[in-house]
Chains A and B, each alone.
Chain A
Protein backbone atom coordinates (compact mmCIF):
# COMPACT_ATOMS: atom_id res chain seq x y z
CA UNK A 1 0.00 0.00 0.00
CA UNK A 2 1.18 3.43 -0.78
CA UNK A 3 -1.75 5.70 -0.12
CA UNK A 4 -1.36 9.31 0.96
CA UNK A 5 -2.14 8.18 4.51
CA UNK A 6 0.64 5.59 4.42
CA UNK A 7 3.07 8.18 3.16
CA UNK A 8 1.93 10.66 5.78
CA UNK A 9 2.36 8.13 8.58
CA UNK A 10 5.80 7.12 7.34
CA UNK A 11 6.87 10.76 7.19
CA UNK A 12 5.59 11.43 10.71
CA UNK A 13 6.98 8.32 12.33
CA UNK A 14 10.41 8.78 10.80
CA UNK A 15 11.32 11.15 13.61
CA UNK A 16 9.42 9.94 16.68
CA UNK A 17 11.29 7.79 19.22
CA UNK A 18 11.45 4.15 18.11
CA UNK A 19 9.97 2.55 21.20
CA UNK A 20 6.65 4.33 20.73
CA UNK A 21 6.52 4.23 16.96
CA UNK A 22 4.19 1.24 16.59
CA UNK A 23 1.69 2.52 19.10
CA UNK A 24 1.61 6.03 17.72
CA UNK A 25 1.26 4.62 14.20
CA UNK A 26 -1.77 2.52 15.09
CA UNK A 27 -3.46 5.30 16.99
CA UNK A 28 -2.73 7.99 14.41
CA UNK A 29 -3.89 5.79 11.55
CA UNK A 30 -7.17 5.11 13.38
CA UNK A 31 -7.61 8.82 14.04
CA UNK A 32 -6.97 9.70 10.41
CA UNK A 33 -9.40 7.03 9.23
CA UNK A 34 -12.02 8.31 11.72
CA UNK A 35 -11.61 11.81 10.34
CA UNK A 36 -11.81 10.66 6.70
CA UNK A 37 -14.82 8.48 7.41
CA UNK A 38 -16.59 11.37 9.11
CA UNK A 39 -16.09 13.60 6.08
CA UNK A 40 -16.95 10.87 3.59
CA UNK A 41 -20.13 10.22 5.58
CA UNK A 42 -21.06 13.82 4.88
CA UNK A 43 -21.14 12.96 1.17
CA UNK A 44 -17.57 13.89 0.32
CA UNK A 45 -15.42 11.98 -2.14
CA UNK A 46 -13.01 9.73 -0.19
CA UNK A 47 -9.86 10.90 -1.98
CA UNK A 48 -10.67 14.55 -1.45
CA UNK A 49 -11.51 13.82 2.18
CA UNK A 50 -8.13 12.14 2.67
CA UNK A 51 -6.29 15.11 1.18
CA UNK A 52 -8.22 17.55 3.36
CA UNK A 53 -7.67 15.58 6.56
CA UNK A 54 -3.92 15.27 5.97
CA UNK A 55 -3.72 18.95 5.05
CA UNK A 56 -5.48 19.77 8.31
CA UNK A 57 -2.97 17.68 10.29
CA UNK A 58 -0.25 19.71 8.63
CA UNK A 59 3.47 19.22 8.13
CA UNK A 60 4.39 15.72 9.41
CA UNK A 61 7.68 17.00 10.84
CA UNK A 62 5.77 19.48 12.98
CA UNK A 63 3.37 16.80 14.17
CA UNK A 64 6.27 14.45 14.97
CA UNK A 65 7.98 17.21 16.93
CA UNK A 66 4.82 17.64 19.00
CA UNK A 67 4.65 13.91 19.67
CA UNK A 68 8.29 13.82 20.70
CA UNK A 69 7.97 17.11 22.61
CA UNK A 70 10.94 18.37 20.63
CA UNK A 71 12.07 21.98 20.47
CA UNK A 72 11.51 23.69 17.16
CA UNK A 73 14.19 26.28 17.62
CA UNK A 74 17.94 26.44 17.29
CA UNK A 75 18.51 28.40 20.50
CA UNK A 76 15.56 29.02 22.76
CA UNK A 77 14.81 31.84 25.20
CA UNK A 78 16.73 30.09 28.02
CA UNK A 79 20.07 30.48 26.31
CA UNK A 80 19.47 33.13 23.66
CA UNK A 81 20.58 36.12 25.76
CA UNK A 82 23.74 34.39 27.02
CA UNK A 83 24.54 33.30 23.47
CA UNK A 84 24.02 36.82 22.13
CA UNK A 85 26.14 38.38 24.85
CA UNK A 86 29.04 35.99 24.31
CA UNK A 87 28.80 36.38 20.54
CA UNK A 88 28.99 40.17 20.79
CA UNK A 89 31.84 39.99 23.27
CA UNK A 90 33.92 37.64 21.13
CA UNK A 91 33.13 39.25 17.77
CA UNK A 92 34.07 42.73 18.94
CA UNK A 93 37.75 42.09 19.44
CA UNK A 94 39.06 38.65 18.46
CA UNK A 95 38.66 39.00 14.65
CA UNK A 96 40.20 42.49 14.76
CA UNK A 97 43.18 41.30 16.81
CA UNK A 98 43.84 38.22 14.68
CA UNK A 99 43.38 40.21 11.45
CA UNK A 100 45.80 42.91 12.60
CA UNK A 101 48.39 40.37 13.72
CA UNK A 102 48.18 38.53 10.39
CA UNK A 103 48.46 41.82 8.46
CA UNK A 104 51.48 42.93 10.50
CA UNK A 105 53.19 39.56 9.93
CA UNK A 106 52.49 39.84 6.21
CA UNK A 107 53.93 43.35 6.10
CA UNK A 108 57.02 42.07 7.89
CA UNK A 109 57.21 39.38 5.22
CA UNK A 110 57.29 42.06 2.57
CA UNK A 111 53.81 41.64 1.09
CA UNK A 112 53.11 45.39 1.01
CA UNK A 113 49.55 46.75 0.75
CA UNK A 114 48.21 43.28 -0.05
CA UNK A 115 48.62 42.61 3.67
CA UNK A 116 45.61 44.81 4.46
CA UNK A 117 43.40 42.61 2.27
CA UNK A 118 44.79 39.47 3.88
CA UNK A 119 44.17 40.95 7.34
CA UNK A 120 40.55 41.83 6.54
CA UNK A 121 39.97 38.43 4.94
CA UNK A 122 41.37 36.64 7.99
CA UNK A 123 39.26 38.78 10.35
CA UNK A 124 36.08 37.87 8.44
CA UNK A 125 36.99 34.16 8.50
CA UNK A 126 37.66 34.28 12.22
CA UNK A 127 34.33 36.05 12.83
CA UNK A 128 32.45 33.40 10.83
CA UNK A 129 34.23 30.60 12.71
CA UNK A 130 33.42 32.13 16.09
CA UNK A 131 29.77 32.60 15.18
CA UNK A 132 29.48 29.04 13.86
CA UNK A 133 31.12 27.20 16.76
CA UNK A 134 29.45 29.29 19.44
CA UNK A 135 26.03 28.75 17.87
CA UNK A 136 26.66 25.02 17.46
CA UNK A 137 27.69 24.70 21.10
CA UNK A 138 24.57 26.46 22.30
CA UNK A 139 22.33 24.48 19.94
CA UNK A 140 23.74 21.27 21.45
CA UNK A 141 23.29 22.52 25.01
CA UNK A 142 19.71 23.46 24.11
CA UNK A 143 19.01 19.88 22.96
CA UNK A 144 20.91 17.69 25.36
CA UNK A 145 21.24 19.66 28.57
CA UNK A 146 17.86 21.17 29.25
CA UNK A 147 18.60 21.84 32.93
CA UNK A 148 21.87 23.77 32.94
CA UNK A 149 21.77 26.09 35.92
CA UNK A 150 22.66 29.48 34.54
CA UNK A 151 23.55 32.11 37.11
CA UNK A 152 20.48 34.27 37.50
CA UNK A 153 20.54 37.91 36.60
CA UNK A 154 21.15 40.36 39.44
CA UNK A 155 21.11 44.14 39.54
CA UNK A 156 24.87 44.07 40.20
CA UNK A 157 25.35 43.09 36.58
CA UNK A 158 23.98 46.42 35.36
CA UNK A 159 26.74 48.12 33.39
CA UNK A 160 27.78 51.66 34.20
CA UNK A 161 26.11 54.24 32.04
CA UNK A 162 28.65 54.33 29.24
CA UNK A 163 30.88 57.37 29.33
CA UNK A 164 31.79 56.92 25.69
CA UNK A 165 28.37 56.90 24.25
CA UNK A 166 29.01 58.12 20.76
CA UNK A 167 32.53 57.09 19.83
CA UNK A 168 33.05 53.36 20.10
CA UNK A 169 36.27 51.70 21.21
CA UNK A 170 36.10 49.38 18.20
CA UNK A 171 36.05 52.33 15.74
CA UNK A 172 38.95 53.97 17.54
CA UNK A 173 41.04 50.80 17.51
CA UNK A 174 40.28 50.28 13.81
CA UNK A 175 41.33 53.85 12.97
CA UNK A 176 44.53 53.58 15.00
CA UNK A 177 45.40 50.23 13.39
CA UNK A 178 44.93 51.77 9.93
CA UNK A 179 47.12 54.75 10.86
CA UNK A 180 49.87 52.55 12.29
CA UNK A 181 49.85 50.40 9.16
CA UNK A 182 50.05 53.48 6.90
CA UNK A 183 52.82 55.10 8.94
CA UNK A 184 54.74 51.84 8.88
CA UNK A 185 54.24 51.39 5.17
CA UNK A 186 55.83 54.68 4.13
CA UNK A 187 59.41 53.77 5.20
CA UNK A 188 58.72 50.11 4.46
CA UNK A 189 58.06 50.65 0.73
CA UNK A 190 61.40 52.37 0.46
CA UNK A 191 63.21 49.12 1.24
CA UNK A 192 60.64 46.54 0.17
CA UNK A 193 58.20 47.10 -2.67
CA UNK A 194 56.91 44.70 -5.28
CA UNK A 195 59.00 46.31 -8.02
CA UNK A 196 62.60 45.23 -8.39
CA UNK A 197 65.48 46.21 -10.60
CA UNK A 198 66.89 43.67 -13.00
CA UNK A 199 69.68 42.94 -10.53
CA UNK A 200 67.09 42.31 -7.79
CA UNK A 201 67.50 45.67 -6.03
CA UNK A 202 64.37 47.37 -4.71
CA UNK A 203 62.68 50.29 -6.45
CA UNK A 204 60.70 52.38 -3.95
CA UNK A 205 57.15 53.21 -5.06
CA UNK A 206 57.35 56.80 -3.86
CA UNK A 207 59.93 59.24 -5.13
CA UNK A 208 62.93 58.99 -2.71
CA UNK A 209 63.47 62.74 -3.18
CA UNK A 210 60.33 63.26 -1.06
CA UNK A 211 62.19 62.03 2.02
CA UNK A 212 63.97 65.35 2.22
CA UNK A 213 60.75 67.00 3.38
CA UNK A 214 57.32 65.76 2.27
CA UNK A 215 57.28 62.20 3.54
CA UNK A 216 58.47 63.11 7.05
CA UNK A 217 55.87 65.88 7.04
CA UNK A 218 53.10 63.47 6.02
CA UNK A 219 54.21 60.99 8.70
CA UNK A 220 54.10 63.80 11.25
CA UNK A 221 50.51 64.56 10.18
CA UNK A 222 49.59 60.88 10.52
CA UNK A 223 51.12 60.69 14.00
CA UNK A 224 49.17 63.82 14.94
CA UNK A 225 46.01 62.13 13.60
CA UNK A 226 46.78 59.10 15.77
CA UNK A 227 47.05 61.28 18.86
CA UNK A 228 43.84 62.99 17.79
CA UNK A 229 42.00 59.63 17.65
CA UNK A 230 43.02 58.86 21.24
CA UNK A 231 42.00 62.32 22.47
CA UNK A 232 38.71 62.02 20.63
CA UNK A 233 38.02 58.68 22.32
CA UNK A 234 38.80 60.15 25.75
CA UNK A 235 36.40 63.02 25.11
CA UNK A 236 33.83 60.50 23.95
CA UNK A 237 31.82 62.51 21.46
CA UNK A 238 32.22 64.72 18.45
CA UNK A 239 32.34 68.46 19.06
CA UNK A 240 32.76 71.25 16.53
CA UNK A 241 36.29 71.89 17.87
CA UNK A 242 37.18 68.27 17.23
CA UNK A 243 35.60 68.56 13.80
CA UNK A 244 37.79 71.60 13.06
CA UNK A 245 40.99 69.82 14.14
CA UNK A 246 40.03 66.72 12.17
CA UNK A 247 39.34 68.82 9.06
CA UNK A 248 42.74 70.56 9.42
CA UNK A 249 44.54 67.24 9.82
CA UNK A 250 42.73 65.80 6.81
CA UNK A 251 43.60 68.83 4.70
CA UNK A 252 47.23 68.75 5.90
CA UNK A 253 47.46 65.21 4.58
CA UNK A 254 45.31 65.34 1.45
CA UNK A 255 46.35 68.68 -0.03
CA UNK A 256 50.09 67.78 -0.27
CA UNK A 257 49.22 64.34 -1.65
CA UNK A 258 46.92 65.83 -4.30
CA UNK A 259 49.43 68.51 -5.20
CA UNK A 260 52.34 66.04 -5.39
CA UNK A 261 50.27 63.63 -7.47
CA UNK A 262 49.14 66.32 -9.92
CA UNK A 263 52.65 67.72 -10.35
CA UNK A 264 53.99 64.20 -10.96
CA UNK A 265 56.28 64.23 -7.96
CA UNK A 266 54.65 61.48 -5.92
CA UNK A 267 55.69 58.31 -7.72
CA UNK A 268 59.28 57.23 -8.18
CA UNK A 269 60.41 58.11 -11.74
CA UNK A 270 62.63 55.01 -11.64
CA UNK A 271 59.43 52.90 -11.79
CA UNK A 272 59.29 53.76 -15.48
CA UNK A 273 62.45 51.70 -16.05
CA UNK A 274 60.67 48.54 -15.09
CA UNK A 275 57.04 49.31 -15.83
CA UNK A 276 57.07 50.56 -19.40
CA UNK A 277 53.49 51.81 -19.09
CA UNK A 278 54.65 54.34 -16.52
CA UNK A 279 57.47 55.57 -18.72
CA UNK A 280 55.04 57.61 -20.84
CA UNK A 281 54.24 61.05 -19.53
CA UNK A 282 50.56 60.84 -20.50
CA UNK A 283 50.10 57.68 -18.47
CA UNK A 284 51.92 59.16 -15.51
CA UNK A 285 49.65 62.18 -15.62
CA UNK A 286 46.54 59.98 -15.79
CA UNK A 287 47.68 57.93 -12.80
CA UNK A 288 48.56 61.12 -10.91
CA UNK A 289 45.12 62.55 -11.64
CA UNK A 290 43.48 59.30 -10.49
CA UNK A 291 45.42 59.34 -7.20
CA UNK A 292 44.58 63.01 -6.69
CA UNK A 293 40.90 62.37 -7.41
CA UNK A 294 40.86 59.39 -5.05
CA UNK A 295 42.43 61.41 -2.25
CA UNK A 296 39.99 64.28 -2.86
CA UNK A 297 36.96 61.98 -2.81
CA UNK A 298 38.10 60.36 0.46
CA UNK A 299 38.69 63.82 1.95
CA UNK A 300 35.26 65.19 0.98
CA UNK A 301 33.49 62.00 2.05
CA UNK A 302 35.21 62.00 5.44
CA UNK A 303 34.41 65.68 6.02
CA UNK A 304 30.73 65.16 5.20
CA UNK A 305 30.56 62.03 7.35
CA UNK A 306 32.24 63.72 10.31
CA UNK A 307 30.09 66.83 9.98
CA UNK A 308 26.95 64.70 10.01
CA UNK A 309 28.06 62.84 13.14
CA UNK A 310 29.07 66.08 14.85
CA UNK A 311 25.72 67.71 14.10
CA UNK A 312 23.85 64.69 15.40
CA UNK A 313 25.91 64.38 18.58
CA UNK A 314 25.94 68.07 19.46
CA UNK A 315 22.19 68.37 18.86
Chain B
Protein backbone atom coordinates (compact mmCIF):
# COMPACT_ATOMS: atom_id res chain seq x y z
CA UNK B 1 0.00 0.00 0.00
CA UNK B 2 1.44 3.37 -1.03
CA UNK B 3 1.63 5.88 1.79
CA UNK B 4 -0.76 8.81 1.59
CA UNK B 5 2.11 11.29 1.78
CA UNK B 6 3.89 9.84 -1.24
CA UNK B 7 0.68 9.83 -3.22
CA UNK B 8 -0.02 13.42 -2.24
CA UNK B 9 3.44 14.57 -3.36
CA UNK B 10 3.10 12.90 -6.76
CA UNK B 11 -0.39 14.26 -7.32
CA UNK B 12 0.87 17.74 -6.46
CA UNK B 13 3.72 17.37 -8.96
CA UNK B 14 1.32 16.16 -11.63
CA UNK B 15 -1.14 19.02 -10.99
CA UNK B 16 1.34 21.84 -10.63
CA UNK B 17 1.51 23.06 -14.22
CA UNK B 18 -2.16 22.50 -14.95
CA UNK B 19 -3.24 25.42 -12.75
CA UNK B 20 -1.67 27.84 -15.25
CA UNK B 21 -3.39 26.12 -18.20
CA UNK B 22 -6.72 26.05 -16.38
CA UNK B 23 -6.45 29.72 -15.41
CA UNK B 24 -5.62 30.80 -18.96
CA UNK B 25 -8.61 28.86 -20.28
CA UNK B 26 -10.99 30.12 -17.59
CA UNK B 27 -9.92 33.73 -18.02
CA UNK B 28 -11.03 33.83 -21.64
CA UNK B 29 -14.02 35.12 -19.74
CA UNK B 30 -12.77 37.96 -17.49
CA UNK B 31 -12.98 37.34 -13.77
CA UNK B 32 -11.58 38.48 -10.41
CA UNK B 33 -9.48 36.42 -8.00
CA UNK B 34 -11.97 34.76 -5.72
CA UNK B 35 -14.56 34.11 -8.44
CA UNK B 36 -11.88 32.44 -10.56
CA UNK B 37 -10.83 30.34 -7.56
CA UNK B 38 -14.38 29.09 -7.17
CA UNK B 39 -14.80 28.38 -10.88
CA UNK B 40 -11.57 26.41 -10.98
CA UNK B 41 -12.59 24.44 -7.87
CA UNK B 42 -16.01 23.69 -9.34
CA UNK B 43 -14.35 22.35 -12.48
CA UNK B 44 -12.04 20.03 -10.60
CA UNK B 45 -8.98 22.25 -10.25
CA UNK B 46 -8.78 22.81 -6.52
CA UNK B 47 -6.13 25.48 -5.93
CA UNK B 48 -5.03 27.31 -2.79
CA UNK B 49 -5.86 31.01 -2.55
CA UNK B 50 -2.31 31.82 -1.51
CA UNK B 51 -1.05 30.13 -4.71
CA UNK B 52 -3.59 31.53 -7.14
CA UNK B 53 -3.51 35.24 -6.20
CA UNK B 54 0.26 35.66 -6.59
CA UNK B 55 0.13 33.46 -9.72
CA UNK B 56 -2.35 35.82 -11.40
CA UNK B 57 -0.04 38.76 -10.81
CA UNK B 58 2.90 36.82 -12.16
CA UNK B 59 1.02 35.86 -15.34
CA UNK B 60 0.06 39.50 -15.71
CA UNK B 61 3.72 40.54 -15.37
CA UNK B 62 4.58 38.04 -18.08
CA UNK B 63 1.99 39.62 -20.36
CA UNK B 64 -0.19 36.51 -20.51
CA UNK B 65 -3.06 38.23 -18.72
CA UNK B 66 -4.39 41.77 -18.90
CA UNK B 67 -6.31 43.38 -16.07
CA UNK B 68 -8.87 46.05 -15.48
CA UNK B 69 -10.28 47.51 -12.28
CA UNK B 70 -14.03 47.37 -11.87
CA UNK B 71 -15.23 49.94 -9.34
CA UNK B 72 -18.94 49.72 -10.03
CA UNK B 73 -19.67 47.08 -7.43
CA UNK B 74 -19.59 47.25 -3.63
CA UNK B 75 -15.84 46.81 -3.54
CA UNK B 76 -13.19 47.49 -6.21
CA UNK B 77 -12.20 44.30 -8.00
CA UNK B 78 -9.43 43.56 -10.42
CA UNK B 79 -10.65 41.59 -13.39
CA UNK B 80 -8.15 39.50 -15.33
CA UNK B 81 -8.49 38.36 -18.92
CA UNK B 82 -6.31 36.17 -21.08
CA UNK B 83 -4.31 38.36 -23.48
CA UNK B 84 -3.50 37.55 -27.13
CA UNK B 85 -0.05 36.52 -26.02
CA UNK B 86 -1.63 34.37 -23.34
CA UNK B 87 -3.87 32.80 -25.93
CA UNK B 88 -1.02 31.74 -28.20
CA UNK B 89 0.92 30.46 -25.22
CA UNK B 90 -2.19 28.56 -24.14
CA UNK B 91 -2.57 26.82 -27.47
CA UNK B 92 1.04 25.62 -27.21
CA UNK B 93 0.41 24.37 -23.70
CA UNK B 94 -2.82 22.62 -24.68
CA UNK B 95 -1.06 20.92 -27.60
CA UNK B 96 1.60 19.69 -25.23
CA UNK B 97 -0.98 18.46 -22.74
CA UNK B 98 -2.68 16.54 -25.54
CA UNK B 99 0.69 15.10 -26.60
CA UNK B 100 1.27 13.88 -23.07
CA UNK B 101 -2.14 12.19 -23.05
CA UNK B 102 -1.48 10.59 -26.45
CA UNK B 103 1.94 9.39 -25.40
CA UNK B 104 0.62 7.91 -22.18
CA UNK B 105 -2.18 6.14 -24.03
CA UNK B 106 0.29 4.77 -26.56
CA UNK B 107 2.59 3.61 -23.81
CA UNK B 108 -0.20 1.93 -21.90
CA UNK B 109 -1.36 0.06 -25.01
CA UNK B 110 2.16 -0.90 -26.01
CA UNK B 111 3.06 -2.46 -22.68
CA UNK B 112 2.15 -6.11 -22.30
CA UNK B 113 0.52 -6.83 -19.01
Which residue numbers of A lie inside 8 Å of B, CB to CB? 23-24, 26-31, 33-35, 38, 56-58, 62-63, 66-67, 69
Q: Is the interface of B mostly helix, strand, loop or mixed?
A: helix
> Among the listed B49, B75, B76, B78, which residue makes an inter-chain contact with A56, where contact means beta carbons less than 8 Å apart?
B49
Contact, CB under 8 Å: B33 / A57? no
CB-based nearest B residue for A68: B54
Contact, CB under 8 Å: B50 / A62? yes
B23 nearest CB across to chain A (Å): 15
Q: Which of B2-39 contact A (CB under 8 A)?
A: 32-35, 38
Report if A69-B50 is in contact (Cβ < 8 Å); known contacts: A31-B33, A33-B75.
no
Cβ–Cβ < 8 Å partners of A29 in chain B: 75
Which residue numbers of B lie inside 8 Å of A, CB to CB? 32-35, 38, 48-51, 53-54, 57-58, 75-78
In the bound complex, what is the Cα–Cα distance between A6 and B32 (angstroms)? 21
Contact, CB under 8 Å: B76 / A31? no
CB-based nearest B residue for A65: B54
In the bound complex, what is the Cα–Cα distance between A57 and B35 (angstroms)? 16
CB-based nearest A residue for B75: A30
> Among the listed B48, B49, B77, which residue makes an inter-chain contact with A30, where contact means beta carbons less than 8 Å apart?
B77
Cβ–Cβ < 8 Å partners of B51 in chain A: 66
Report if A30-B78 is in contact (Cβ < 8 Å); known contacts: A24-B57, A67-B57.
yes
CB-based nearest B residue for A23: B78
B92 nearest CB across to chain A (Å): 22
In the bound complex, what is the Cα–Cα distance between A174 and B54 (angstroms)? 54
B70 nearest CB across to chain A (Å): 10
Contact, CB under 8 Å: B49 / A57? yes
Contact, CB under 8 Å: B49 / A31? yes
Contact, CB under 8 Å: B50 / A58? yes
Cβ–Cβ < 8 Å partners of B76 in chain A: 26, 30
Cβ–Cβ < 8 Å partners of B58 in chain A: 69
A161 nearest CB across to chain B (Å): 35
Contact, CB under 8 Å: A27 / B34? no
Contact, CB under 8 Å: B57 / A34? no
In the bound complex, what is the Cα–Cα distance between A139 and B49 (angstroms)? 30
B81 nearest CB across to chain A (Å): 15
In the bound complex, what is the Cα–Cα distance between A63 and B52 (angstroms)? 11
In the bound complex, what is the Cα–Cα distance between A26 and B77 (angstroms)? 8
Contact, CB under 8 Å: A35 / B54? no
Cβ–Cβ < 8 Å partners of B57 in chain A: 24, 67
